[in-house]
Amino acid sequence: MSDNSWLKGRTVVYNPVPKAPPKPRRFHIGRILWTALKRTCIVIGAVVLFSAVIGVWSAVRSGHKNVPAMPDQMVLTLTLSGHIPEESGMSQYMALLNFRDEELTFNALVDAIERAAVDPHVKALAFKVSSAGYDISQLQEIRQAVLNFKATGKKTYIYSESYGGSGYGLGLYYLASAFDEIWMQPVGVVSVGGVSAEMPFFKDVMEKYGVEAQFFQRKEYKNAMEHLTSSKMSEASREETQGLIDNLATQLIAPIKADRQKIAQNFDGLLNLGMLTDDVALKSGLIDRMDYEDALIDFLDKAYPNTDLFPMDLYASAKTRDHLDKNLLGGKKVSVAVIHVDGMIVSGSSGRSAYGLESSMAGADDIAGAIKTAARDKKIKAIILRVNSPGGSPSASETIARAVHWAKVTKKKPVYVSMGAVAASGGYWISTEATKIYAMDSTLTGSIGVVGGKINLEKLWQKYDVNWERVSYGKNSSMMSMNTPFSDSEQKQFELTLDNVYDHFIVRVAQGRRLTRVQVEAIAKGHVWTGKEAKEKGLVDEIGGLNSVLDVVAAKNGLSSRHDLTVLHLPSVNDPFSVLFELLSSETFLPDIVGKVILSVHLMTNSPRLVYDADLPQIKG
């Protein structure tokens, strides 16, 4: 019988030939690197493609968002609802993508009001304001711009549902008092009850849970951690806070009496009443008309026939565009760099911290880099630091201060400081070397001092039977541990660092302001001053806002107006990558619970750092 085993697995149509098993692939570093390179290129290509799409989309969308033509005659309208941003930042990109409206910046607002004052097409101003929180320094600049507008003979109107419905409306009424007519909706209230400040003290409740705050200050007015280390306000702190309150109250009340003659005699009595109903406010002269918003619109239509109501933000955009067009066609222009220092001063890069611990952080690397870039640019004739900061890291502040010194001394570039609502502690440290320092009357500045320490949780762990064991090398290696208090040796060394920072602060102020150490020490000690007081004491040169500084720069460069300047705002963060990260970090992508977990981990894992920011009381008025 024949052997047919060879037929198994075979057919007439297809007879597969067995393949030899593949040889095992040997480890090859070149192949791995090549694969990694290809994948990296794919990722980079995807990001570049995304950036290109964003750029094209932005360009296309910008073509469709033209500012409408301004009418021949108009009443400019504006709705204010609290603090106004100092710079547009990324909002212009987000606006081009229709994710949000572009914000009207504070300086653009003040500039638009002043332009409108001499614009024959603008017949009046009409503001609608809410009772949200405002920076007094911003209100002072806006109010002055409104008064300048009125001085040309044009009328101004202001409307609100209430002037301080939450109980604090003196600042808002201070702004309203500059207008010709103050309107309020029926059932509204006017709260002109003065200015107050309050601060909680946690020492007693912390002790119940076994938590101890170990902080040391230089000197008596540097009260940043007093609410943790004490059960009540110290005499020095009370003296300082009362002085700030009295000074700010005077700055608000005196102009109200000057510009509202009908209530000048009895305003103190109205202030002591605090919150006044609509009828009392009308009869007393605090307001001029009690009616609704639609009634104000009807009134404006009749008072200014053939005149359109035109939004202030569109007017500002149109004027800005005209200015840019003139610069592009007008040949050589003088440029000035405005560098924003906004928020807590930290080492490294700028950014925003998690969930409101601090709305923004001013990174020393970014700011110092922007100063150096502007100083090297021959087209930039001056640098302006716009400071809105309560302080932060001493070393980070020193980095910025050194960049200011280098720009002024080495590169011979004038550096001006324009202080906003607050430029205290580190915010003042970086200002000391400036060619000139400008502040508003209500700016909070100074606070030349230092405070630092840590939280001790030793007794808390004992309450819950948690035992921490330690292995270390070095006598003071666990100095900043939150699980044990400072030993005598650790406290001695730590306090030496505070003395060192304070001494450096005194020297920097003395050199920058051309004062003796004795003179600086007399106004230092951690004391916070208003801008008005700071000028009297030599810490500030002039009272005025950012526009005042721009006027000086324009005059020194032979220009007739600051409007002839090309203003560059730095550091710039407007790039497609930032837009992407802004989208990814929005609330849509980060649920609230995730953010709280991240915040909790952040607080548990980060050791206390040496800071000297001004922990100012919450001032309401």
CATH of 333-467+474-620, one of 3.90.226.10, 1.10.287.130, 1.10.3720.10, 3.40.50.150: 3.90.226.10
Q: How far apart are CA 270 and CA 170, in angstroms?
A: 11
Question: Given this model, what pLDDT does residue 585 score?
Answer: 38
Contact 281, 173 (CB under 8 A): no
Average pLDDT, the chain: 82
Mean pLDDT of 291-307: 96
Question: Given this model, what pLDDT does residue 42 score?
Answer: 73
Contact 342, 570 (CB under 8 A): no
- Assess whether pLDDT exceeds 90 at residue 84: no
Among 226, 225, 221, 227, which Cα is nearest to 200's?
227
* Contacts of residue 79, Cβ cutoff 8 Å, sequence gap at least 6: 127, 128, 129, 130
The CATH 3.90.226.10 portion of the chain extends over 70-198+229-313, 333-467+474-620
Mean pLDDT of 356-385: 87
Of the chain, the percentage scoring pLDDT greater than 70 comes to 76
- Assess whether pLDDT exceeds 90 at residue 345: yes
pLDDT, tens only, 237-284: 999 999 999 999 999 999 999 999 999 999 999 999 989 999 999 999
- Assess whether pLDDT exceeds 90 at residue 132: no
Question: Given this model, what pLDDT does residue 197 score?
Answer: 87
H-helix or E-strand containing 277? strand 275-277
Left (φ > 0), alpha (ψ -120 to 50) or beta: where does 210 sit? Answer: left
* Contacts of residue 261, Cβ cutoff 8 Å, sequence gap at least 6: none
SS3 448: coil
pTM: 0.80
Distance spanning both ends of the chain, measured CA to CA: 115
Residues 177, 178, 183, 185, Cα dihedral to 10°: -60
Question: Given this model, what pLDDT does residue 619 score?
Answer: 62
Q: Which fold has domain 70-198+229-313?
A: 2-enoyl-CoA Hydratase; Chain A, domain 1 (3.90.226)
- Residue 489 has phi, psi (to 5 degrees) of -65, -40
Question: Given this model, what pLDDT does residue 238 score?
Answer: 92
Angle formed by the axes of helices 136-150 and 106-117, to 10°?
10
Banded model confidence at residue 549, pLDDT cuts 50, 70, 90? very high
When mean pLDDT is compared across 28-42, 85-99, 139-153, the lowest value belongs to 85-99
Question: Given this model, what pLDDT does residue 605 score?
Answer: 26
